[in-house]
Structure 1
Amino acid sequence: MPTPALASELRVAVGRASRRIRAERGDAGLPDNQFSVLLWIEKRGPLTPGQLAELERIQPPSMTRTVNCLAEDGLVSKGAHPTDGRAVVVSLTEAGRAEIAETRRRRDTWLAAHLATLTPDERAHLAAAADILRRLADS
């Protein structure tokens, strides 16, 4: 298959697979943008809304709304910034950590169940493809 055609096929297949996996959500049923904020805080530790906006590549007012929704749901807490009295720092709560864990569990369970229907050879191909896709994503 020529490289441009392969690029198109992979883009469509990876996009559809990603959307299907993301449809598996924890009990809070968070939209992708809110779940992504939880993941950034889990990965980086407490962050300001401005830092989160930069990471998500959105405007700060949009991130403030997202953080407020997460705080209202008890998934994050807002505290005083240690050096800037005007800023707040957003941290995960135990409920936020539990939501991340449950969402990951549901996504892994869905995918594992579908992978189990494949032949061992198909699973081996996907294992090799996962490594290649990871390298592409990291480039």
Structure 2
Amino acid sequence: MTDIRAAYRLHKLFEQKITSEYYASFKGKYGRVQVEALNYLYANHEVRVCDLSEILDISKQHASKMIQKFEDDGLVLKKADPADGRSVVCLLSDKGRAYIEEYLANSDKRFLAKLESLSENDRMSLLESMGTISELLEKL
């Protein structure tokens, strides 16, 4: 198997076995790109709308509309960018942070339930391997 095929296979398996249930838990309320935006805000605390559009590979208009929807839903706050008065930075509100934390907790429960099908040795091996892969990918 070529390196790129192995990487693609790993990506698809991770998506199917690990992240799919997390994203599915948002179904009906928010789509995948919206969930990615909320996750980014959760992990990075604040971001300019123009930067979010680049990170998510969407148009600035789409990013602006999405942030406006989150603001209308009470999940996101906007404030002036201290570095550039013409720009706005977005951050999760307390409600938005609690919203994501609830989904993360539920996702953890589902992930742990999936791990139950593995032996203790396989569980430890998987978790250690995921840590190793993460560390190596961060070096790229």
Give distance in 2, aligned partners of 1:8 and 1:51: 27
Q: Deviations over 1:27-84 (max 9, x none)?
A: 9843222222223223333322112222223221111011011111110012333454
Give distance in 2, aligned partners of 1:46 and 1:11: 27
Paired amino acid for 1:62: H
Give distance in 2, aligned partners of 1:96 and 1:28: 17
Matches within 5 A, 1:71-90: 71-82=71-82, 84-90=84-90
Instruction: Give, in angstroms, the shift of residue 91 of structure 1.
Output: 1.9
Give distance in 2, aligned partners of 1:116 and 1:50: 42
Aligned to 2:106: 106
Give distance in 2, aligned partners of 1:12 and 1:38: 22
Change (3 A) 1:76 1:27: farther
Paired amino acid for 1:10: L
Q: Find the residue that maps to 1:117 and give its secondary structure.
A: coil
Paired amino acid for 1:33: V
Paired amino acid for 1:90: C
Bigger RCO of structures 1 and 2 (CA < 8 A, at least 6 apart) = 1
In the superposition, the TM-score normalised over structure 1's length comes to 0.79
Paired amino acid for 1:106: N
Aligned to 1:65: 65
Aligned to 1:131: 131
Q: Deviations over 1:105-127 (max 9, x none)?
A: 01101000111232112212212
Contact kept, 8 Å, 1:48 with 1:89, in 2: the verdict is yes
> Gaps spanning 5+ residues in structure 1: where?
none
In the superposition, the TM-score normalised over structure 2's length comes to 0.78
Change (3 A) 1:63 1:122: same
Paired amino acid for 1:80: A
Aligned to 1:21: 21
Alignment RMSD (CA, Å): 2.7
Instruction: Say how many residue pairs are matched.
Output: 138
> Gaps spanning 5+ residues in structure 2: where?
none
Change (3 A) 1:98 1:40: same
